[in-house]
Structure 1
């Protein structure tokens, strides 16, 4: 019995060591799994945000092209009305599909900003289809779209924990349009 009691501290040390190793391995596995899940969802969020941005940009560009002949100083390439409306309908389907990804994966601030940008682009879409109010201000609406896009990208970058400098385009576009010798690109 004395031999067992002499060995007891070593045995306790081994048991504590094994339990500590098991606990550490479990915590490391859990942390590694959580990191992998985070990366996976960030990748999906990035994909959803990018797809949504491309879809809205397509609708906005088609609205610019459809209205190019009615806006003085437009640098947009005009498109045949019938063909443009068909393309706009297709782009609207993509916009609706991509919206679902943002709703599913986006955080509250990103969804809010996405909703505002989507509504702003819808106003350009409505004008291009000929269903906007008669006093519709195209230049103001385009500027609002640009500001909403900036807010969406700021929220999306925060959602993805992306650093980096200011990527806002609205202010830059206004400064560029107001540069001496340049007509506003409306």
Structure 2
């Protein structure tokens, strides 16, 4: 019995060491798994945000091109409404699918910002399709869509932990619209 008692501290040291090693291994593995899951979901979230932004921007661009053609804007390459409607219909289907993915993966702030952008683009699209009546000037609708897009990108970048400052474009785009000389072709040189 004396031999057992003299060996007891060493035996307890081995047991405590094994338990400690097991606990550290478990915590390390769990931490690695959580980091892996976080990266995996961030990648999926980024894909969902990018897909949504791309298709919504497509709807916005087509709608603006239809509206600019209707307004006789010779500095933009406009679309004939009849030719644009099938493209809008196709983009709308992709938009619906991208929206569902964004709802599934997005954080609350990004989804709210996406909803605002979505509604602003709907107003442009409805104007292009001549659905409903809108008395708001086109420049106001365009500014709302661009400002909403900026808020979406800001929320998405914050949610994904992307640093690097603002990527806002709406003010710059609004300035381009406000100065028509930017859209006029250069005078020929003599």
TM interval, short-chain normalised: over 0.9
1:145-160 matches, within 5 Å, as 145-160=145-160
Provide the rounded CA distance (Å) in 1 between the counterparts of 2:89 and 2:180.
38
Q: Which residue of 2 aligns with 1:82?
A: 82
Structure 1 distance, partners of 2:72, 2:79, is 16
**Which residue of structure 1 aligns with residue 58 of structure 2?**
58
**RMSD of aligned residue pairs (Cα, Å):** 1.8
Measured after TM superposition, the shift of residue 26 of structure 1 is 0.3
The residue aligned with 1:46 is 46
Q: Name 2:24's counterpart in structure 1.
A: 24
Counterpart Cα distance in 1 of 2:92 and 2:2: 84
Distance 2:59 2:9 in 1: 74
Residue 2 of structure 1 pairs with residue 2 of structure 2: yes
The separation in 1 between residues aligned to 2:7 and 2:74, in whole angstroms, is 90
Give the structure 1 partner of residue 122 of structure 2.
Answer: 122
Distance 1:50 1:25, change over 3 A: same
8 Å CA contact 2:110, 2:152 repeated in 1: yes
Q: How many residues align?
A: 184
Question: Which runs of 5 or more residues in structure 2 are unaligned?
Answer: 185-190
- Which piece of structure 1 moves more, 132-141 or 98-107? 132-141
TM-score, normalised with respect to structure 2: 0.90
**TM-score of the superposition, structure 1-length normalised?**
0.92
